[in-house]
Amino acid sequence: MNFDDIIYVLCLLSCVGAGKYVKNIEGESQRKLICTLFGLVVAFIVSGWHILHCIISAFLGALAVVYVHPSKTHLITFVIMFAYLAFFRLAHVFGFTNPPGPTNMIQMVLTLKVSGVAFEKASSWKKLKQREQELSGNKPAEKELVEISDYDVELQSIDIIGIFQYSFNYIGVLTGPYYRYRTYRDYFETPFKDYAPCVETTVENLKFAAIYSVIYATVDYIWPLSYALSPEFYERSFIYRFWYIWPAFLIFRMRIYAGLCLSECVCNMAGFGAYPEESDATNGEGPRKQYLHLKRDADKRSYNFNTIVNIRVKEVEKCFTLREGMKHWNVCVQYWLAVNIYRQFPSKKYRTAVTLLCSAYWHGFRPGHYFCLLGAASYVTVEDIWQKLVAKEATGLKRLIIDYMFWFAKSCIGYNYLGTAFMLVSFSNIWNFYSSIYHVGYIAWFLMLASGLVLTKRKTTISVKNK
């Protein structure tokens, strides 16, 4: 770990420790103010004066959310926030000093938060207009009238201060998780945090964070990624070079797992994102059922932190396909991408590709991000073809064998092969490494695609003839 990493981890741990104090502050306004000030202090510690990037972009985005017409606010805010993200990463081109890595993480989360508010506001405005038209008789009502909540109305009058406080709330300011403005509002307006199992959940997550950290440190010491860039590495056998993708991506996974677990701990200790079981809270979205009436007897409820789950490690490791694995990885960001990009994009044919392209852009402009994330889109296409060919109708032992073949392919190519490109970052590093193992991942992918298309066509022809 370098010095920036140490400071970063210490700041995360301080945020975890602050949770018990913050939760007990009386007065909604005072608690909001302290959470915002603490968030700004933490951001300044890891960023220095580069924090001005975050403040300026949040202010510009907030102006768009507040003053642009609700029918267009999501589009304008999205463009502003993602354009500033590009400027932020290309600061050196304009003569500015490149911000440190932790500031990049803050800016990434900020981009999702501010543009997410705009998407929420636009969606609520559409619901309000539709309800208004139905009640006035200008539009035929559906089977049921559009359901409108107080939150939908509240969003239409959200102000710049509210967005700023939400953006720099110390909970999630460093690494997320992404959460909706509604989740932020509920934290201050509901008593759920007072009865949630905060300490128990935090301790449990800290245990896992410690385990992931030990594995990360051990594997990184024995098989460092830097060795894969050294001349000595390319003198080793092909089998060794190909095998190296396994420890290389294991290092990356354990580092990410530890960081995401710690960021969940920040929420857990403060009781942030805790909802009663009856509310049917889901990752990123929060409650899907009516829940405000549960405040009356909040002390009699059982609670969970489903809203702020960052990653489901067991499912990531055990699932059989990459498509399923992506759903369990960085879950709240996946929710943002699904709701605001995938479902909003007009062409169903290109939704997956556009969503992964947006994800790659959000992660950064380095070639490794595009090799990995756009490669994942291609891999999922092949995976889907073969799922329909061999797995869809298989049962029993045959299905089990097929599932584990998919699991091995997912782990080898979907995770390790493509994930290594994400870590190698530059085109030259990626090309040298992939060339040393003769691009076997891409060759295997091409052969599986070609044979899958041929077999699919043959199966379709036989099916037509039988009819």
Q: Are 367 and 428 in contact (CB under 8 A)?
A: no
Find tokens 């190296």 and name the residue. Answer: 244
pLDDT given at position 82? 96
122 phi, psi to nearest 5 deg: -65, -40
What is the sign, positive or negative, of the torsion defined by CA atoms of 314, 206, 165, 89? negative
Residue type, 236: R
172 inside domain? yes
206 inside domain? no
Taking CB atoms within 8 Å and a gap of at least 24, the contacts of 443-448 are 444/413, 445/378, 445/379, 445/382, 445/413, 448/382, 448/386
Can you tell me the distance from the alpha carbon of 281 to that of 303, in angstroms, rounded to the nearest whole number? 10
What residues are labeled active site?
A: 330, 363
Can you tell me the distance from the alpha carbon of 86 to that of 394, in angstroms, rounded to the nearest whole number? 47
pLDDT given at position 140? 60
Q: What is the pTM of this model?
A: 0.89
Query: 286-287 and 275-276: which strand pairing?
Result: unpaired
In the chain the first and final C-alpha atoms are separated, in Å, by: 64
Q: Are 62 and 81 in contact (CB under 8 A)?
A: no
Can you tell me the distance from the alpha carbon of 55 to that of 106, in angstroms, rounded to the nearest whole number? 11
71 inside domain? yes
> What range does the domain containing 115 cover?
1-130+150-176
Taking the CA atoms of the chain, what radius of gyration do you get in angstroms?
A: 24
451 inside domain? no
406 inside domain? no
Number of domains composing the chain: 1
62: Cα separation from own chain's centroid? 22
Per DSSP, 170 falls in state S
Q: What CA dihedral angle connects 138, 72, 124 and 29, to 10 degrees? A: -140
The pLDDT averaged over each successive group of 10 residues in the chain (467 residues) is 78 92 89 96 94 96 96 96 94 87 92 96 91 72 67 92 96 92 95 94 94 94 92 93 94 92 94 95 92 91 94 92 90 93 87 87 88 86 90 86 92 91 91 92 91 87 71
204 inside domain? no
pLDDT given at position 142? 55
8 inside domain? yes
**Residue 87, SS3?**
helix
**Cα–Cα–Cα angle for 374, 377, 378, nearest 5°?**
95
Tokens found for residue 320: 């059989």
94 inside domain? yes
